[in-house]
Amino acid sequence: MSKILLAHGGGGREMHELLRELFSIVRKTKVGNEIGLDESDDGASLTINGRIVISTDSYTVSPIFFPGGNIGKLAAAGSINDVAVMGAEPIAALDGLIVEEGLPLAELKEIIKSLVTTFEAENVALIAGDFKVMPRGKIDKIVINTTVIGTVKDHIITDSGAKPGDKVIVSGTIGEHGATILALQIGIDAEKENLKSDCEPITRIMRIAKEIAKIHAAKDPTRGGLAMTLNEIAEKSGVRIDVDEEYIPIRENVRALCEMLGVDPLWLACEGRVVLVVSGDVAEDVVDSLRSAGYKDASIIGEVRKGKPYVVLKTLSGGLRLLEKPTGEIVPRIC
């Protein structure tokens, strides 16, 4: 057998044998002595003390393999990040796979391997899941849903906590995932242009920042990029955010691609970066700690002020303009 058949989604012997083979690499299948993936029940169990954060997302990137990762790594990291930016430690995950008939089994194995290794590197137990097969042409290769559960020890971080006097930090260079997927979709050799997705969990970044400061707001700039993230924080917090283009870290190859295609890099998705809003008196300490930990491009890019909920960008030429929300479909099928 080299390709997925409709029978693999039928609930019979073929499906059970396939799932046993695909997920035999999972080592962390439960939290403590609870019911987990090993039992193959219709669900799993958790005993949790305190508050929890839950996030679910569905991933449909095209192409499904790209420099820096694949849809499996993206699905694991993406939902881990959605929990982490709310101040939670991710502990458990569930996945749902919808696969097209005819998908090469070798590709599916590589995707599952990336999904599992990403979860396990973060000590996240894959406790349950679901698997379906759609007829050829009814779905494009594969869609993955992941749900991640995390626990909160102190306070939950939201998008609405930014306060006048706070500083805005970005943990690294922006737009790399969006630029990489965009290049591949229009036929540019991304590897030749040294374009690589930033797809990775941001849990370590959050831990470092939380040791230094109480984080007032945090968000990972995925669809809509940095521009959408800043606008959401400004609107939800009822503040104005001023950012300086000079201090926004963008790799030159990403900038060159955007200039060639007429795309604003501030609109392009990241999948391994986080925007942090912290008190002005500790912002430099947060950046210094991140840089010392290897996040050399971490930077303070702006500050929060009183005013109408706008994002104002100081351009490289010294002018000011509103950084508006992205409109239209900038890069389809990006995550």
- Bridge-based pairing of strands 311-314 and 240-244 is parallel
- Is residue 192 pLDDT above 90, yes or no? yes
pLDDT tens-place string over residues 134-187: 999 999 999 999 999 999 988 999 999 999 999 999 999 999 999 999 999 999
Would you state the torsion angle of the CA atoms of residues 170, 176, 178, 181, taken in this order, to the nearest 10 degrees? Answer: -160
pLDDT tens-place string over residues 218-244: 999 999 999 999 999 999 999 999 999
- Is residue 104 pLDDT above 90, yes or no? yes
Quickly name the fold that domain 6-152 has. 60s Ribosomal Protein L30; Chain: A; (3.30.1330)
- Is residue 195 pLDDT above 90, yes or no? yes
- Is residue 1 pLDDT above 80, yes or no? no
DSSP 62-85: SSSEETTEEHHHHHHHHHHHHHHT
Which DSSP state fits 201?
Answer: -
CB-CB neighbours of 102 under 10 Å:
14
CB-CB neighbours of 226 under 10 Å:
29
pLDDT tens-place string over residues 273-323: 999 999 999 999 999 999 999 999 999 999 999 999 999 999 999 999 999
Q: What percent of the chain has pLDDT over 90?
A: 96
First to last CA, the chain: 29
The residue with greater pLDDT, 49 or 134, is 134
Query: Which helix or strand (DSSP H or E) is residue 286 part of?
Result: helix 283-292
User: What is the pLDDT, as a whole number, of residue 208?
Assistant: 98
Beta bridge partners of 244: 314
Question: How far is residue 132 CA from its own chain's centroid?
Answer: 24
Question: How far is residue 200 CA from its own chain's centroid?
Answer: 7
Q: Is residue 269 classed as helix, strand or coil in its secondary structure?
A: coil
Token couple for 158:
């939201």
Q: Check the CA dihedral 314-318-324-326 and report its sign.
A: negative
Mention every residue, 6+ apart, whose C-beta is less than 8 A from residue 79.
Answer: 55, 56, 57, 93, 146, 147, 148
User: What is the pLDDT, as a whole number, of residue 220?
Assistant: 97
Measuring CA to CA, which residue among 303, 255, 295 is closest to residue 171?
295
Query: Which helix or strand (DSSP H or E) is residue 152 part of?
Result: strand 142-152
User: What is the pLDDT, as a whole number, of residue 329?
Assistant: 85
Query: Which helix or strand (DSSP H or E) is residue 13 part of?
Result: helix 13-22
Taking domain 166-322, whether its CATH number is 3.30.1490.190 is answered by no
CB-CB neighbours of 49 under 10 Å:
6
Place of tokens 């999948």: 271
Measuring CA to CA, which residue among 214, 226, 328 is closest to residue 271?
226
Domain ranges for the chain, please list them. 6-152, 166-322
By CB neighbour count within 10 A (0-12 exposed, 13-18 middle, 19+ buried), where does 95 fall?
A: buried
Token couple for 84:
């982490």
